[in-house]
Structure 1
């Protein structure tokens, strides 16, 4: 199984698109979907996490119910402003959904380049097994010049925090950003992060 993953990984890397991101990254390009048909959602989750634990990237296994909520919300609220703790304060990133992909670009880039701002992190979600196995697999590609694995993990955790929450006040920030932008206060994102414990616990810099 692991050899199979390695082989496919190399093939996918071979056709990396410009900027190091893979175009049309399908689950079949990572996993032999036939080989895992007889495995349970837990076994697949374990294999997925174990495989990616050795890579310079992040991965997750999201229960179907949570992903369904995140995905349906992403359709009505495709964008949000995320705050990344830095040594001095926070840096803001705009996350924009495109189907099952979530593209992040720093707010500075978006302000300067608009639509043409390059993605610095992409989260890929694979709903292929959600009906049958009850899990949605996620992995990511990032531009290491701009973003570390630790920072990518922090942004991915925030997606669950804001889009996967059952707290209406938390999700209301996402709705406000998309539908009443004039009323949106970026400091409320920071307040929410600090309250959730995802805030200032920054890994030591200079990795």
Structure 2
């Protein structure tokens, strides 16, 4: 039967084995910055534990004499209490380990479901992108019926055709599109900011020929090069030389992006790639060729300056 002091001493022995020794922050290997200057460095925290010395226990000084006396006079009893301490420690660690494993399994299941959904979206949008690449202006318009029409008449027909569809469309003057396209050859990517109620959502736009593919920055961070296109702006330069215009329409995933948001991103393409203002286009050059100097806040400032910020109303091209 233990007296009160023996009970406190046993508690002191038990506490020695349960002292926690903090955490260590280590940069996780295999994680790279997908968008330089935007994606923050990621860290993983590891628990660091070690067996404390008896003398480190805060109760040691108070019970040192009794511990030493018990150890010398009743070594078997001392060893038994040490064994009980280890057993209690093993039970505590076992329970903690089980809870940790259950938590990890739950997180893994959630991640698995998210990845499955993203991959399904990737397959669907990849099929959409393939159909878009194979689509020609002749598959939309009867080229024979518009051959004798003026550029203004063709533009009116194009905008009327898409006015009842859940997408965006535009008629771009040939000179402006030539500037946009020539810049897309040397600066294929840019970071766009989509105004939301509580701030901005960032999208990455990447040119592929006469198509401009958009996906959210969150997708890029999660899936990298497998991130699905959520919006594709398709440009048709077939009439550029003869009629002096380029026709544009879009393929979008309505689950992730609205027509209003698609229009906002399309307007930003003209703002950043079709501008004559050097300070504005310099942001695109910096993003592509000097990423370490790029600041996403500069994009937000330019949107505010141009009127395409959160207060902007939906507009046509």
Q: TM-score, normalised by structure 1?
A: 0.88
Aligned to 1:18: 124
1:132 to 242, 246, 267: 242
**Superposition RMSD in Å:** 1.4
1:35-81 CA-partner distances (Å, limit 9, x unpaired): 11000000000000011011000000000000000000000000000
Distance (Å, rounded) in 2 between the aligned partners of 1:65 and 1:38 = 22
CA deviation after TM superposition for structure 1 residue 111, in Å: 1.2
Matched, 1:144 2:254: yes
Out of 29-38 and 79-88, give the one that drifted further.
29-38
Larger Rg: 2
1:186 deviates by 0.3
Q: CA deviation at 1:193?
A: 0.3
Q: Which whole-Å CA distance do the structure 2 matches of 1:202 and 1:88 have between them?
A: 14
Q: Which has the higher contact order (CA 8 A, sep 6+)?
A: 1
Residues 1:62 and 2:172 are matched in the alignment: yes
Is contact 1:150–1:203 with CA below 8 Å preserved after alignment? no
Unpaired segments of 5 or more residues in structure 2? 1-122
Match of 1:47 in 2: 157
Shift of residue 166, structure 1, vs aligned partner: 0.2
Alpha-carbon distance between aligned partners in 1 of 2:251 and 2:196, rounded to the nearest angstrom: 21
Find the counterpart in structure 1 of residue 224 from structure 2.
Answer: 114
Distance apart, 1:202 and its partner CA: 5.5
The one-character-per-residue Cα deviations of 1:16-41 (angstroms, maximum 9, x if unpaired) are x8336234221111111121100000
Between Structure 1 and Structure 2, how many residues are aligned?
188
**Residue aligning to 1:31:** 141
d(CA) in 1 for partners of 2:244 and 2:225? 35
Q: In 2, are the aligned partners of 1:104 and 1:122 still within 8 Å (CA)?
A: yes
Q: Report the 3-state secondary structure (helix = DSSP H, G, I; strand = E; otherwise coil) of the residue aligned with 1:166.
A: coil
- Structure 2-normalised TM-score? 0.58
Q: Per residue, is there more helix in 1 or in 2?
A: 2
Which consecutive unaligned segments of at least 5 residues does structure 1 have?
A: 1-16
Provide the residue aligned with 1:84 in structure 2: 194
Once the two structures are TM-superposed, the CA of residue 116 in structure 1 deviates from its matched residue by 0.7
The alignment partner of 1:119 has SS state of: coil
Partner residue in 2 for 1:181: 291
- CA distance in 2: counterparts of 1:60 and 1:203, whole angstroms: 17
Tell me the SS of whatever aligns to 2:264: helix
